[in-house]
Structure 1
Amino acid sequence: MGIVLLSSCDAQLDQVNPNAATEETFWQNEADFEKALVSCYTPLKNALNGGYYGTRGVMMRIARADEVEFRNDISEVYQACYFTNSNGNSLSQGMFYQFYNALYRTNSILQRLEEKQEILSADFIDKVKGECLFIRGFYLFQLAKEFKDVPLRLTASQSPSTFPLAKSTQQEVWNQALVDLDAAASFLPIQPTGKGKPSKGAAYATMGKIYLYMEEYDKAIKVLEPLTHSPYTYKLVDFAWNFDEAHENNEESIFELLIDQVGGTDVWGDGENINSTQTNSRPVEYAAEEVGGWFEAQPTQQMMDIFLKERDKDGNYDYRARMSVAWDYPECMYYLRPFRDVFPKADWNTYWILKYQNWNTMEREPASCMSSINERAIRYAEVLLQLAECYLFSPTQKDLVKSVSYINEIRRRANLNDYSGAMTENAIFEDLEHQRAIEFFVEGERFYDLRRWGLLEERLKTCNPVRYSQFMTGVVNGTNRYYYYPIPAKELETNDLCTPSEGW
């Protein structure tokens, strides 16, 4: 049917599209609230504009540590890697606004729940509250982890009068996250209601991580230790199962983001238009050119030295190393072929990321760039190593034997001998750092670990002198501005009450 466009001032032509939902027409039933909840996860997966578990968001999380080196292809990521980024960096700005996009959505749902109680069942209200508060608390933790002091927006409003808002401290933001997560845990079930849905364990695991970052070790133990026994059923599985499509939502997974072959074919969109796919391009980003990849980043020599430091009980390299990185060792397979068959002799000394790649199921990364491997946001292995850290550093519950027992669970999964070093805080911490570096390689933990331990400068110095030198230019008034991404210039221009980040 043809459509005739007319130019007219006739008011009868200015009609509302009956198929377009508005704030007034949308919130009519439980199905609408379910749709709104689904929309809250999209900002986490946004591919190009800073979604925290999206393609570029992952890059911005791993670029600043000592585990990988990015080549100068994606300028915003390279700036972060070499500490030349500014408050105009489009990816850190995108990350900032994806957090607030999601906060607006969770705040909207919570407000509408109050308004629409008469049309919703009590059980449904509790279910939505639990999920929504988890998402908001999860976002608030990451927001303050990345930007430190930020505006704390807890209401959904389109009124310009509400836009100016001063920053709250990191402590205040994390305290609100803890309130949200604690409330969420009271509503959420022990077993998630569906794939990609949060559970009580996910709420407590996130709370424990926040307490650890705040060095509230006893509080962290209180919420984390129950996750190690009944009624919770988490356990360690084959390490490689945590990064492939075949073993998603396994017993080690506490919370993961669904990356699915649904929707359209546009992997580069915002995830919300009709053409958007719900996949990502993570595998092709890091694979070698010889297998159809874009070779954006490779493991550093310092990281490889960590991987190769200790052999297992059978004399092999650490299983986690072999499942995380491909390099020239006997029996190494890369995209279903022996390593030396893939690369020319001149490149036999190179290292390649395997985590979240299709290296053991495909011969090449597909030209479509669409991966369906879920992003594991919280793993049980992290709970165990967080407990090890808490018992190592708690001033009131310090228990070196218990700390080592949790580390040994991780070591045994890797077929390593039990810890046999000195039973001192320093010696145990050295192995704890070692295990975390290997266990969470390119999962977005290393930079934040080094920062909170006060080891970032030391590890960057031994990794790359050029990066270290530039990093040290960020020292201002006794701190380093590169510890955090800066409040974006756009926010400073539009929010009169917001001040620049420290050192910026």
Structure 2
Amino acid sequence: MKKILYFALAAGLTLSSCENDLDIVNPNAPTTTVFWQNSTDAVQGVNAVYSTLHRDRMVLWQWFYYTVRSDEAFSRSPDSAIPNNMDRFLITDYNFGRTNLVYSDNYVGIFRANQALANIPEIEMDESLKARLLGEAKFLRAFFYYNLASLYGNVPLILEPSTPTDLPPNATREEVWAQAAQDLREAAEGLPTTYSGEDVGRVTKGAANALLAKVYMQTRNYEAALEPLQWLVEGEGSDIYDLMPNYRDNFLASTENNMESVFEWQLATNESEYTPEDTETPNQNYGSPLAQFIAPANVGFSDAEFHRWVVNEFHEEETVNGERDPRLEASFFFDSTDVRGPEFSMIYGQTFAQRYGLDDTRVWLRKFANDAEPGRTGEGFRSANNYRFLRYADVLLMYAETLNQLGRTQEAYPYVDRVRERANLAPLSEVRPGMTQEQFHEQIEHERVTELAGEGHRWNDLDRWGYFESQEKLNELIQRDPGFANFVLNRHRLLPLPQRDVDINPNLEQNPNY
């Protein structure tokens, strides 16, 4: 059974977040001057930063922007705003609520992290614990800026506790990446390699190095990405992380925080959560609504579906035993989740044929679903299944990509082979020896689809690989996803900044060509 979440302790700390311009002070409201007094306050303050990850738009709508907006998935939600803004690039409302909520929630996390980073250094407490907490806060601030740089680009860079009268200007996307990298380098110095007991799930040195490598790779600084990846793959991290023998164990609530997990969002069911019928217990939802929104039709809302080309990637080669890639069954609900077909493919207690007939070709993501729970017939808004954001398989593929980009293609083979061998596929060194750098990169693109589909990395992969920079590359996306026919170069690579922020802040400029 999952423990009560460690970062639930201070979910309401934002009450102490900022001063206002009124002369009357609420004597019952906590303030920063009375809160940050001892080590308990420091721990709870950092817990509040983690708590940002429970805001439903962080794990839900942010996933849509990373995944549904990419060529992997699409939406035919009856709420037309979802497919128009998150899939088809028909963005006409620069105050679209879900876009603004993702933006603002990342800044909520940054605000909380800035509070911790500004106040914890002045507390008299155990120095090793202080260093760890500051490392956690820096990692989380970097993670929030990673999301903002990935999705919005030229956002304000705020590094001190802010007030309502602040009017910060845009930073460039490059400056935001650079700050995230600095935070992660510093975080890695103070973070432990592992935790025990109730602290399991807090960010580690390995998580900081993995995210640092991602930041460097997004800026195509592969030389810089090499060092943190080497720590993970060839250094101390190699004794901590490894691939789970069973691929599906990376997505089940019963096998969370396993040896393949580098950074996962800790989720749980809060039995005391606020509901409209019970206004006396305004406690936070620690679960995720993602499974409800992306579950198959008649099970959940079916607001996100996957293109069939993604399924076809798994059919490009068989295992060494002549069987289908086992990751396909673990990844998707579709007419052949069971290789025998729709009359054997179970969808929450019924066969695919019973639910949708024999000719339906729709595909839904199975990762993050709760269908493994006995008797489960549908999803809900409070899934306790952790969201795995960084897995060691991703790290191995990142390392292979980095080595290849640095012209060390032959050295990159073993790390792709480790991922393939877990799926019982033949090693690349046997089936495709002697590839050129370009050929190996094409192989990496394939491997990242079959290993990581739907896990929230596809948009940044496409961005890093230059798909949003030329019509030629864009045409490849259009062949896989017709929604990209509406994509405008030099505009849709980034989302618009919330127009409400641009209107009230004379120092803030809207993103180009919006």
Matched, 1:411 2:414: no
Is the 1:62–1:446 Cα contact (8 Å) retained in structure 2?
A: yes
- 2:179 maps to which of 173, 176, 180: 176
TM-superposed deviation, 1:361? 2.4
2:449 aligned partner: 437
Matched, 1:393 2:405: yes
TM-superposed deviation, 1:464? 3.4
- 1:83 maps to which of 89, 92, 101: 89
AA aligned opposite 2:503? E
| Residues in 2 aligned to 1:296 and 1:267: alpha-carbon distance in whole angstroms | 24
AA aligned opposite 1:343? R
Which runs of 5 or more structure 2 residues have no equivalent in the other structure?
Answer: 1-23, 469-473
Matched, 1:222 2:227: yes
- 1:469 maps to which of 467, 472, 485: 485
| Residues in 2 aligned to 1:132 and 1:231: alpha-carbon distance in whole angstroms | 23
| Residues in 2 aligned to 1:444 and 1:328: alpha-carbon distance in whole angstroms | 24
Deviations 1:59-106 (A, max 9, x none): 222111111121133444312201012421211111111111111111
Report how many residues are paired. 467
TM-superposed deviation, 1:17? 5.2
1:41 aligned partner: 50
| Residues in 1 aligned to 2:155 and 2:25: alpha-carbon distance in whole angstroms | 40
Matched, 1:63 2:68: yes
Deviations 1:368-415 (A, max 9, x none): 532110011211111111111111111xxx211111221111111111
Sort the Cα spacing of 1:399 and 1:101 in 2 relative to 1 into closer, same or farther, 3 A: same
For the aligned residue pairs, the C-alpha RMSD in angstroms reads: 2.2
Deviations 1:262-318 (A, max 9, x none): 2534589xxxx823320112222222234x322222211221222222221222221
Matched, 1:489 2:499: yes
Is the 1:336–1:361 Cα contact (8 Å) retained in structure 2?
A: no
Is the 1:70–1:77 Cα contact (8 Å) retained in structure 2?
A: yes
| Residues in 2 aligned to 1:399 and 1:372: alpha-carbon distance in whole angstroms | 42
Written as runs of structure 1 = structure 2, the 5 A alignment for 1:243-392 is 243-262=251-270, 264-266=272-274, 274-290=282-298, 292-329=299-336, 330-331=339-340, 333-335=345-347, 337=349, 339-340=351-352, 342-366=354-378, 368-392=380-404
TM-superposed deviation, 1:261? 1.1
| Residues in 1 aligned to 2:418 and 2:273: alpha-carbon distance in whole angstroms | 42
Matched, 1:458 2:475: yes
| Residues in 2 aligned to 1:261 and 1:337: alpha-carbon distance in whole angstroms | 23
| Residues in 2 aligned to 1:464 and 1:182: alpha-carbon distance in whole angstroms | 37
TM-superposed deviation, 1:447? 1.8
Sort the Cα spacing of 1:494 and 1:43 in 2 relative to 1 into closer, same or farther, 3 A: farther
SS at match of 1:236: coil
| Residues in 1 aligned to 2:87 and 2:32: alpha-carbon distance in whole angstroms | 42
AA aligned opposite 2:329? R
User: Identity percentage over the alignment?
Assistant: 26
Deviations 1:124-173 (A, max 9, x none): 3212211111111222222111111111000102251xx21221111111
1:498 aligned partner: 508
SS at match of 2:316: coil
SS at match of 1:151: coil
TM-score computed with the length of structure 1 as normaliser: 0.87
TM-superposed deviation, 1:341? 5.0
TM-score computed with the length of structure 2 as normaliser: 0.85
Deviations 1:343-371 (A, max 9, x none): 24255433232111122324444565321
Sort the Cα spacing of 1:199 and 1:15 in 2 relative to 1 into closer, same or farther, 3 A: closer
1:27 aligned partner: 36
SS at match of 2:320: coil
Is the 2:348–2:377 Cα contact (8 Å) retained in structure 1?
A: no
